[in-house]
Structure 1
Amino acid sequence: MVKILLMAFPLALLCCSGPMTGGQKTMLNDNYATALSFFEAGSFDSTLVYLDKCLELDRDFAQANYLLGKIYLQKDGIYNRRLSALSLKEAVKADRGNPEYHYSLGLTLEKQTFYLNALDEYREAARFDSTDPRPFVGISRLYERMGLRYDDDKYFQRSLEASARAAILSDDPAQFYRQAAALYQMGKYDSSSKVLSLAIAKAESAIISASCWLLLGAVQVLERRFDSAHFCFERGREQMSELSRDEMDDMSYLMTAEQYKAYLNEGPIAQGRTARFFWGQIDPDPTTQINERRLEHYARFVHAQATFSLPEKKIDGWKTKRGELYIRYGAPSEQEFSLGVGPSDPPRWTWTYDRFGAQPTIFYFEDTFLNGDFNFPFPNSNWTADDFARDPSRLAYELGSAIPQDFAFSPGSGPLEFDYMPRQFKGHGGKTDLEIFVAIANNQLRFTRDGEYATAAVSWRQVLRYPSWQVADSATAIRTYSIRASQAENPDYSMSSRMKLTGLPDSLLFSISIRDTLSDHVGISTNGIRLRNFYSGQVEVSDIVLARRIDQPPGELSFRREQLSILSSLDNRYFVGEPIWLYFEIYNLELGPDGKTSYSIKQVISEKRTRNLLGAFKDAVTGKDLHEVTTTYEGGSVNTYENRVLRVDVSEFREGVYTLAIEIEDLLTGRIATTSEEIVIYR
């Protein structure tokens, strides 16, 4: 580009100030031609020799001053930038209508941090040549800088307008990205997404493409489109260097200092295990295939890079103090900018977080050296006891030790309450079946009414994970319920359903998420669970399923668990007049010489003794006896596995808390297995 622009001024048209002889003009042209050839060859020192000769002949020779300014600008450094500005000003003075001189002077002034002066030169360059995109790029860049410094939308709007003009002239994806960044900072996320899509379609550079995908991912997170955000971040990260990905994955801002130090002392394999477990622990919805907290971390990282970076000083935004706090805790509840009035009162940002205690937590960031890097203020001799008490560096350390990171996750438009009961059975191939029984009160769901009936539907996800955080099993379903419209808002009626998972016997983590498809209310629960091993070789009995009704397949003597219709009772409370239904399974029975099993089932319902002393005293005074009923069944078959449905009549029982126990005895081996549940009977 430099070569083309320089050759745009033919030597025959060179103008000299003052009367010059023909020989002087020839010498001037020859010296400039030689300087230009050395410049294009990259020999700056030789170029300077011949430019000096040109300026000895004509101090106002614009082209020589321009080329001299370009050389000093490329040599860089504070002194060279000053020399560059002086030379370029001479070039502008000699030829005020030359857009290239104004643009180059703008670049130099921008490097000198004289931003308003640089802005004036870019405007002049654009005024003299409205077809050159470069001045508009410079204008956009400076207004973006002002917008980020003052968090002022009017500057972002001006940056947007200039970058839009540059994009029209150049079709450069980088200018589309700059438009999208301005829209993002103004909170116009939908428009930002559209422009980013255009930039991605045009981008050939991996750096620009990655930047676009990452910013698009951050926008998707803000709009709570986590699946789309996951896709965008993955596409962006594919085009990043390994070092950049590692920086994005860095967990130093999410752990306490002690936790992170311990993590760094681990080997690579242990670090990978620790990282998986850490991210799993803070995943707000483990039932999804994505980790919303990790996506939020990526979005905060991208925001910090886009908002707090100082490229000219090679300062990454995520490494600044503002970047650290933003990545840890997200956007502050309030933020305020103060320009300051002198060296003792530099420009300052004040961030307030109001969710970490009864009193707001306030952080100050000062641009102490007036270079755009807002840091925690440095203690000095003028600090009072109150200043030390409010020292943001100390507050950040204390908060980071107590609350390393914070994320408020809202999976839906409101909460959904439900009850669930896990029940374990013998599976196949050494695994254990985990049946999850769920009950949702009618008043928790939104129904659509059609005459006498009402319908509701829920989206149900559940997942079982091993200690390594690897998925053992997962399941999803849409369940639809139809009831009488008069019962739609009755909290005493519930929707009942169940779904199965399987896993190897171990200590696992179970997570469940249920979303009402109409109201978008969501309930999420995560708990540890120990899967039993039913492959012991001993007689075993499954967990008991207590229900208000169990329907078996009609006309079939043998059936599978999946064929049963079970209206479960998760609170184990029964009205004295209603029967209690039980389902359980028996495993590992011994086959006798005749190829058959022989076993007995003892069912015991015993009233629990009153726990408090006053109740026990009353029972003793009134002579109240504890109620207990025992029922025994015998059975046998050609299978080592049996399943049973029992119906228990409690109409003669009084109110109270009871233990319902099942004892299985293998009559061939004498081996016994037991299980029990607590029930409540009321009138």
Structure 2
Amino acid sequence: MKTVFSLFMIFLLMLCACTPYRDIPVDKDFLNPLSGLDTLNIKNSINDVKESLRFRPEDPSLHRKLAIYYRLMATPYSRAISIEEIDRAIALDPDDPLNHVERGLTLYAMRFIGDAEAAMKQAIKLDPGFFHAWFQLGRIEKDRYLVNMCFTERKENAISYFKKAYNIDDTHEETLYNLGLLHCLRRMYKTSKKYASRASTLHPDNPKHHLLLGTILFRMGLFEDAAKEYDTALILMDDLENSYYLDTAPLLPFKQREEYLKWPETQGRKWSGRFWLRNDPTPATELNERLLEHYERVFLARELLTHDRLGLDGAETARGLALISYGLPDKFLYNLGGGLHGSMVAWEYCGEGTGFTLYFQDEFLNGNYHIPIDPAFISIATATQNILNSVPQSYEYPVAFIPAGIHVASARRMLASGNTDLEFSIAIPDSAIDDPGTDFTLVLSIFDFDLNRIIYEIHRIRPDTLLSFKRGEESYRLFNFNIGMIPPSGKCDMAIELTGGKPYRRATCEREIEIGDLSWDKPGASDIRFTLSLSEVGCTSLLDPIPAYDHGTRLCLSYDIYNLSRGQDNLSRYRLTYAIKTVSKSAEDYSGIRKTLWWIARSARGGSDDVSPFISSSLEQSIDSPHVTDALQIELGSIEPGRYVLTLDIEDIVSGGTIRREREFVIKD
């Protein structure tokens, strides 16, 4: 029985040894398997070297070359032959440090890390100025550190070895890159920038140098410079590489992520553009610091967590998803497993009331840390998965500010030229203004449907020069301005950002607006403009930025009507009907039995969502112009507190054309 079992185990080992590796292109470090074409070329090279050895069997350089080719085949059998050949080269020329470095590389590919380090150190003993030995020692220590990123002394050792290599050759591309990356992980950004800048200058066509430099500049708060480096990298990368940086799937809740991944590529890219517009900490400016931080995280995930031997891209691993969503953790905790299970790392994110811990396990002892599958760890696996599925992404915005709130209203009118006039009113609460004499900066951006910035305006304002008004118990300062523009087609996105004060405060407002061409409608109408009512003067012509009114007050509004047809008497006639109703709700606003009752009530109304108005009135006018500007005052005393919509229906009596405008408002207790 024991003999049968032994034969079975030998068969399994032979089967594992013969299992083909994944078809991955060779990398510069020669540790990966080759593609089929490369394998054929290497076999031909091996035959050529063997033929040369027939005539020069004592040539150590030929044995070393043969060892290199067998190592590049990247199979257990070829690596064993590689060791035999490099040992022959060492026996023939034991004082050549290159032979020992090549032996160390093969041992490292076989995962004999201690022996590989010993071979590199033997090369250094033979020649302390041998660049390749120092460089490969640095790579080995860096790779050991990146397995779990818990043992910082390995990172320090790697830096020390790479510095020795740098002192020998200060132009070597990979040495410069690794020194820049490792110093960046130490948060030594000035030192890191020195190496990364030199690498990008000497090797400008390699996108990873620009990605690293962009990451360093971002951490230093040099956002414009960082954006330039990231943009350069995106241009240099191919579509596959770009897709990792442009993909927003890792940032979405689980259900949204599933829907997003089903979309066509063009639809997904357009949605991603709007996603970043709505998740911009400074939405009115050209720079999106949050997008830059996303680039930084994707770069780090791919650079730190990619597993070449398993063909895993770091951005697609469980740890990569966590890094892209939340950044690197505040603490790394490590458990060897005590021989009972694979080692485990815990990523701890600290935060007052918002902290959490994620757990990853090297369950199959291959260096791939993933969410545990072992039933013994089902509780921490479930907790980790729930966090990744439900906790929204978090970002570190490097500029310290105090959040402030503003109220923004906009309304469109048609100018005499046919272009559109956009009016904006911004209410700044006095509670956000420590010194009314301090300058604030207000920036407005408008993006068209394709996210092209079509309007960019900057206003410098001083609160003590603005109109002051009260709404409830709060006092506000009003800033009002207009923009004339050629109306774009489709819906647009608007972003307003207000910054300033001491201490530094920032307020933002983003929303979708429809500008449209008002000159083509027959009849046409401006937006309804709720206007500010002041106790001293009553209704004004200023757009009210806060459409929330006390019970028992009056509603002030104005509107324009355009393009009315003229009758035979050369007069224009129109009928205006206004109504105030509660805001209609949809089925999505309810659940359970309340949703069923909503459908029953809707069926009773004949499938209509309309409700009876609280106030309704109609009037007819005859004027000698196709355009009219008018105003109304509506007493709200009979309406209970709640959310309402004002509807204006305009009928051109001469032509029969109609148009409707609506605007919501709130009545408070």
TM-score by length of 1: 0.68
Post-superposition offset of 1:212: 0.7
- Mapped partners of 1:309, 1:661: distance in 2: 58
Residue from 320, 325, 344 that aligns with 2:322: 325
Post-superposition offset of 1:203: 0.9
- Mapped partners of 1:250, 1:661: distance in 2: 42
**Residue matched to 2:345:** 349
**Residue matched to 1:537:** 522
Post-superposition offset of 1:272: 0.4
Post-superposition offset of 1:352: 4.1
1:645-682 per-residue CA deviation (whole Å, 9 max, x = no partner) reads 89x899xx999989999898879779898878899999
Q: Would the aligned equivalents of 1:587 and 1:640 in 2 still touch at CA under 8 Å?
A: yes
**Residue matched to 1:368:** 364
Q: How does 1:47-446 map to 2 (within 5 A)?
A: 47-50=52-55, 54=58, 64=60, 67-76=62-71, 77-85=75-83, 88=86, 97-149=95-147, 150-170=149-169, 171-203=171-203, 206=205, 209-223=206-220, 225-250=222-247, 253-254=250-251, 270-281=264-275, 283-285=278-280, 287-289=284-286, 294-311=291-308, 314-332=311-329, 334-342=331-339, 344-352=340-348, 360=356, 362-366=358-362, 368-369=364-365, 371-379=366-374, 383-384=375-376, 387-390=377-380, 392=381, 402=390, 406-408=393-395, 410=397, 413-426=401-414, 433-446=421-434
Identity percentage of aligned residues: 18
TM-score by length of 2: 0.69
Give the secondary-structure state (helix, strand or coil) at the position aligned to 1:483: helix
Post-superposition offset of 1:348: 2.5
Residues 126 and 499 of structure 1, relative CA distance in 2, 3 Å threshold: farther
- Mapped partners of 2:665, 2:294: distance in 1: 46
- Mapped partners of 1:462, 1:307: distance in 2: 37
**Residue matched to 1:556:** none
Residues 641 and 104 of structure 1, relative CA distance in 2, 3 Å threshold: same
Q: Would the aligned equivalents of 1:279 and 1:294 in 2 still touch at CA under 8 Å?
A: no
- Mapped partners of 2:574, 2:202: distance in 1: 75
Q: Compare CA radii of gyration and give the structure with the larger one.
A: 1
Q: Would the aligned equivalents of 1:426 and 1:542 in 2 still touch at CA under 8 Å?
A: no
Residues 184 and 659 of structure 1, relative CA distance in 2, 3 Å threshold: closer
Residues 106 and 532 of structure 1, relative CA distance in 2, 3 Å threshold: closer
Post-superposition offset of 1:93: 6.8
Post-superposition offset of 1:284: 0.5
Equivalent position amino acid for 2:528 in 1: D
Equivalent position amino acid for 2:563 in 1: N
Residues 520 and 641 of structure 1, relative CA distance in 2, 3 Å threshold: farther
Which segment drifts farther, 193-202 or 282-291?
282-291
**Residue matched to 1:513:** 497
**Residue matched to 1:476:** 457
Give the secondary-structure state (helix, strand or coil) at the position aligned to 1:455: coil
- Mapped partners of 1:298, 1:632: distance in 2: 59
1:291-344 per-residue CA deviation (whole Å, 9 max, x = no partner) reads 5554444322211121112446654322433223323443345431233443x3
Equivalent position amino acid for 2:274 in 1: G
**Residue matched to 1:15:** none
- Mapped partners of 1:307, 1:162: distance in 2: 19
Equivalent position amino acid for 1:460 in 2: V
Post-superposition offset of 1:74: 2.2
Post-superposition offset of 1:479: 2.6
Q: Which segments of 5 or more consecutive residues in structure 1 lack a partner in the other structure?
A: 1-38, 55-62, 449-453, 551-563, 609-627
**Residue matched to 1:498:** 481
Q: Which segments of 5 or more consecutive residues in structure 2 lack a partner in the other structure?
A: 1-43, 583-614
**Residue matched to 2:50:** 45
Post-superposition offset of 1:166: 2.4
**Residue matched to 1:58:** none
Residues 633 and 483 of structure 1, relative CA distance in 2, 3 Å threshold: farther
- Mapped partners of 2:315, 2:441: distance in 1: 40
Q: Would the aligned equivalents of 2:524 and 2:659 in 1 still touch at CA under 8 Å?
A: yes
Residue from 541, 544, 563 that aligns with 1:588: 563
- Mapped partners of 1:655, 1:272: distance in 2: 48
Q: Would the aligned equivalents of 1:496 and 1:567 in 2 still touch at CA under 8 Å?
A: no
Residues 492 and 388 of structure 1, relative CA distance in 2, 3 Å threshold: closer
- Mapped partners of 1:679, 1:67: distance in 2: 86
Q: Would the aligned equivalents of 2:487 and 2:517 in 1 still touch at CA under 8 Å?
A: no
Q: Would the aligned equivalents of 2:250 and 2:325 in 1 still touch at CA under 8 Å?
A: yes
1:201-252 per-residue CA deviation (whole Å, 9 max, x = no partner) reads 1116x3xx21111122333444565544332222112222333223444455
- Mapped partners of 1:327, 1:399: distance in 2: 14
How many equivalent pairs are there? Answer: 575
**Residue matched to 1:619:** none
Give the secondary-structure state (helix, strand or coil) at the position aligned to 1:43: helix
Post-superposition offset of 1:182: 0.8
**Residue matched to 2:435:** 447
Q: Would the aligned equivalents of 1:211 and 1:236 in 2 still touch at CA under 8 Å?
A: yes
**Residue matched to 1:527:** 511
1:33-86 per-residue CA deviation (whole Å, 9 max, x = no partner) reads xxxxxx99972222444565x4xxxxxxxx64x643442232124344345445
Equivalent position amino acid for 1:461 in 2: L
Q: How does 1:658-673 map to 2 (within 5 A)?
A: none
Q: Would the aligned equivalents of 1:603 and 1:663 in 2 still touch at CA under 8 Å?
A: yes
Give the secondary-structure state (helix, strand or coil) at the position aligned to 1:45: helix
- Mapped partners of 2:629, 2:621: distance in 1: 13
Which segment drifts farther, 310-319 or 184-193?
310-319
Q: Would the aligned equivalents of 1:321 and 1:375 in 2 still touch at CA under 8 Å?
A: yes
- Mapped partners of 1:196, 1:412: distance in 2: 27
**CA RMSD after TM alignment:** 5.1
- Mapped partners of 2:299, 2:647: distance in 1: 58
**Residue matched to 1:36:** none
Q: Would the aligned equivalents of 2:574 and 2:652 in 1 still touch at CA under 8 Å?
A: yes
